[in-house]
Amino acid sequence: MRFNLDSLRPGLIVHGRRTAARSFGGWIRVVLSVDLIQQGLRGVWGNHDALVVTGPDGNLGIGDAIGNRWPFRCKVTSLADYERSCTAGDYSVRLYEVIGATPGQEQAAADWWMLNVFGTFYDFKGIWYLFWSTLLGRASKRARQWEWAHWCTEGVARAYQLGAKINAYLKDHATPLTTEKRGGEYGGPALKVTLHQVTDQMVKPFRPCRFCKYDLHICQSDKIRP
């Protein structure tokens, strides 16, 4: 898999799903991550949300809140890292745009994420509360989180609400489940759809390299070897 750089733009929402089989260590790390959402809720496709941003190096990247590996901070992951994981079959992604958002508002959301989320810690307190309250059906409007930290969907939702002035998630304490509901892709009562999936426009088909298992765009081996 490779991203279509002719179409990819800041402000798009990246909804991800881990597809690789877990090692013993991977199952231990699950207790520290939003993989709990996918393990605990039936019918949820993904377990992670991120935002396309312009990184510190000036290149497009993925604004990630990382809760399953040190140093547990929000960072910009390179497009190549995502492409490698997806091509290897370890990860899958869907991309969404916020319905009605202008290019300027999409850029404003991406800029807000870089200014306010990038470099902050992962909000373990908030995601644990959300997981258990969702499972037990006892969700509360009272905030139980660290205000100085962010979990994955929280950073995306706040970027649009505070940066672009669009309430794309229509609720506080959003999760990857909320993303699928707002995209109209989760079973249950009909909800207002605010996200439109654009994966087909943003991802190019896999082109295998002659020398390795990766996409030609990733390894570039054809340009190196005769």
Work out the burial of residue 71: count CB atoms within 10 Å of its CB; fewer than 13 is exposed, 13-18 middle, 19 or more buried. exposed
Question: Whose CA is closest to 156, among 96, 113, 192?
Answer: 113
The whole-angstrom separation of Cα 18 and Cα 32 is: 15
Beta strands at 48-54 and 195-197: parallel, antiparallel or unpaired: unpaired
Confidence at residue 131, expressed as pLDDT on a 0 to 100 scale: 60
User: Among 38-42, 117-121, 213-217, 220-224, where is mean pLDDT lowest?
Assistant: 220-224
Token code pair at residue 77: 């992951």
| pLDDT band, very low/low/confident/very high, at 151 (cuts 50, 70, 90) | confident
pLDDT at 167 over 80: yes
Bigger pLDDT: 150 vs 199: 199
Q: Over 70: is that where the pLDDT of 134 sits? A: no
What mean pLDDT value characterizes the chain?
A: 78
The pLDDT value recorded for residue 185 is 86
Q: Which of 50-64, 69-83, 180-194 bottoms out in mean pLDDT, i.e. has the lowest?
A: 180-194
pLDDT for 226 beyond 60: no
pLDDT value for 160: 98
What is the arithmetic mean of pLDDT over 177-191?
81
pLDDT at 224: 40
pLDDT at 128: 61
Top-confidence range, 40-44, 63-67, 105-109, 140-144: 105-109
Spatial CA neighbour of 51 closest among 91, 127, 139, 111: 111
Q: Quick one: pLDDT at residue 47?
A: 85
Task: Identify the pLDDT of residue 143.
Answer: 47
pLDDT of the residue at 126: 60
Structure tokens at 115: 């200014």
pLDDT of residue 187: 66
Q: Domain segments of the chain: what residues?
A: 2-223
pLDDT of 161 strictly over 90 = yes
**DSSP 8-state code for residue 159:** I
221 neighbors 212 (Cβ within 8 angstroms)? yes
- What are 89-116's pLDDT values in tens digits? 888 999 999 999 999 999 999 999 999 9
**C-alpha 101, offset from chain centre:** 18
| pLDDT-derived band at 28, boundaries 50, 70, 90 | very low
Question: HEC states along 6-72?
Answer: CCCCCCCEEEEEECCCCCHHHHHHHHHCCHHHHHHCCCCCCCEEEEEEECCCCCEEEEEECCCCCCC
Span 2-223: which CATH code?
3.90.1720
